Structure 1
């Protein structure tokens, strides 16, 4: 099968649009259409079907897309391996981090990595944990940083737990709970919490933790961004359980108050995840080697900061 034709097909499959694919590939629309038809003839199967101005993949098209991703991931690995022989400090790293690690841990670490490896190109995405796992399985990422129960991740992944986050209940300083020494878990079932979306590692840890106490948490509403959750709590819209990493400043200046939950400790695992059968480039290996001790140190510092704040109260 012609690799250039396969490359055209993969672009069409990713964009679900022939015109947009032709623009990105700098090819005419008829040329892209002819390429897809040629692949269908070669495979003896229909690969796409039109749905108005867009296209959708058939089952055969999804199978071909999966193998095409693997082929071009291997092609990129080959290029990076050869590049590494010429320049061990060059190359490209493609990774994603969950929103907590991506916003509150990764920036300072990336800055330090860039000082040591200025020639390495970094492509970083911020997604929720379930999206990261899917992209890794689809061969589009070298590795990812995810949060949640590592034992629940799919097979075929190499998972390395490097640290633990700490989830805490926070309220605005004028909230009725702000003066309480603690709350039983059952109290949180009576008033909805502001929660992250389903698929978020934090959401899964919260729900699992409360179910172990026989408590079902109902969302007041859901948001896909940690900062948006924090701003809602600051505005006294409601209470939320958030990563301690995200509220350091607000706890320190008294805008938010931590309320301990009796008998409940929520410490989701932070894990480095990659495909077990994927060979990382020299650049990606260097990033991982730099990342592990730095994240362990960073997360330990934040946990200590939170504990010192609670003790001071």
Structure 2
């Protein structure tokens, strides 16, 4: 038997409404097309499903038996379609994101909170990854969007968009209090113990270049895997280090750490959105991107 779901769907609506005209209207097709489908289905099944009269289409005993199965199947299919529609909508959608720590703390947490105040039923699934792992997650279709904190080049079909600038500040703990309240050259600071990310991190390469531009070599005494570990290491007087401004706000207010003013200005950095132009974005993901575009730095 070669019947497909479209045949069953037509049969379901004709049986439900007992009327060819109404069924064709719901199915958005012509009445002759509905009639042909019913004839084809009856021929394939080898029995009559309806009796036709001026009052409409009535199920035969065979038709009623067949309808008990088809209606149950259609109910499941329609429920599945409805649930899927909700999943990709603003009523119950999910947005899959990969983001670096800096992007999360300096931009994304606030943006997600504000978006959820408008669309409270949209859910976020977040992977906390490095910049390159986040880019690869987009390439492989594992996430809808990536948010990173390092300028980089991406190839089509990937596209990047700068969302906002952020600044890094140099901080120190009580052991280095003599550095507080005056501008200090990078050369003088290079003699102090430094804390930074490992050499593989793009942020570390950014700092290597910053030091090199001023004729210095950056040789941190302590290397850490993630940015959020730098702050407690500084607080415990293990050295000085750069962190995004937002990371240090609370600790500075509590006077656990202080900002060190550097004569040589550290370049501004950017929070960047990366997405695949060929990847089918859900309604929720598209709306979130529109929301981000409307936000001011």
> Scaled by the length of structure 1, what TM-score is found?
0.62
- Which position in structure 1 is the counterpart of 2:288? 287
User: In 2 relative to 1, CA 136–147 (structure 1 residues): closer, same or farther, beyond 3 Å?
Assistant: same
For residues 239 and 209 of structure 1, what CA distance do their matches in structure 2 show? Answer: 16
> Superposed, which structure 2 residues align to 1:79-158 within 5 Å?
83=85, 87-149=89-151, 152-156=152-156, 157-158=158-159
1:152-203 Cα offsets, whole Å, 9 max, x none, are 3231221101111101111013315433512212234333411123444432
Matches within 5 A, 1:122-271: 122-149=124-151, 152-156=152-156, 157-179=158-180, 181-271=182-272
Counterpart secondary structure, 1:154: coil
How does the TM-score come out when normalised to structure 2?
Answer: 0.65
Once the two structures are superposed, residues 233-265 of structure 1 have per-residue CA deviations (whole angstroms, 9 ceiling, x without a partner) of 011110001110100112223221111211222
Give the CA deviation at 1:293: 4.1
Contact persistence 1:205–1:266 (CA under 8 A): no
Query: Which entry has the higher C-alpha Rg, 1 or 2?
Result: 2
Give the gaps of 5 or more residues in structure 2: 1-80
Q: Is the 1:205–1:268 contact (alpha carbons within 8 Å) kept by the matching residues of 2?
A: no
In 2, Cα distance between equivalents of 1:86 and 1:184: 53
Q: Which moved more, 1:281-290 or 1:109-118?
A: 109-118
Alignment CA distance shift 1:276-1:214 (3 Å)? farther
**Retained in 2: the 8 A contact 1:167–1:243?**
yes
- Contact 2:196/2:222 (<8 A) preserved: yes
State how far apart, in whole Å, the 2-side matches of 1:175 and 1:224 are.
Answer: 24
> Structure 1 pair 274/199, CA: closer, same or farther in 2 (3 Å)?
farther
How many residues are aligned here? Answer: 215
| Structure showing the higher helix proportion among its residues | 1
SS at match of 1:254: coil
Distance 1:234 1:280, change over 3 A: same
Aligned-partner Cα distance in 1 for 2:237–2:146? 34
Is the CA contact 1:184–1:262 (under 8 Å) kept in the aligned structure 2? Answer: yes
Q: Please, which runs of 5 or more residues in structure 1 have no aligned partner? A: 1-78, 298-313
Deviation at residue 227 of structure 1 after TM alignment: 3.0
Superposed CA RMSD in Å reads 2.6
Following TM superposition, by how much is the alpha carbon of 1:281 offset from its aligned partner in structure 2, in angstroms? 1.6
